[in-house]
Amino acid sequence: MSRPVAEMRNLGPRCAEWRALIGIYDEGALHRVGAVEAYRELMVQEVTKSHRMLFYALAGALEDVDCLQLAPEKKWELESEAGV
């Protein structure tokens, strides 16, 4: 069974509220959608202001690493894919 989003690394209760607004309630759903699409959808829905740290938090949660520990190459790859 997938963990609730609020229990994932980097993502607390506030992030869980935002994810719920776009239909992502648990770890499995976030894995299916991916960090890039989840971030894009949050921006389209104007749930929150565009912020790269949110993007990194999503990506870090999927890899179960602290978002501050994402390699610069990984950040660049994600930003390129998302067009940010």
41-55 pLDDT, tens digit per residue, is: 888 877 666 678 888
Cβ–Cβ under 8 Å, residues 44 and 29: no
Reported pTM: 0.83
31-80 pLDDT, tens digit per residue, is: 999 999 998 888 887 766 667 888 899 999 999 999 999 999 999 998 89
DSSP codes of every residue in 15-72: HHHHHHHTT--BHHHHHHH-HHHHHHHHHHTTSS---HHHHHHHHHHHHTS-GGGS-H
Domains and CATH numbers, the chain: 5-82 (1.10.150.20)
Q: What is the C-alpha to C-alpha distance for residues 82 and 25, in angstroms, rounded to an integer? A: 22
Q: How confident is the model at residue 13 (pLDDT cuts 50, 70, 90)?
A: confident
The SS3 call for residue 82 is helix
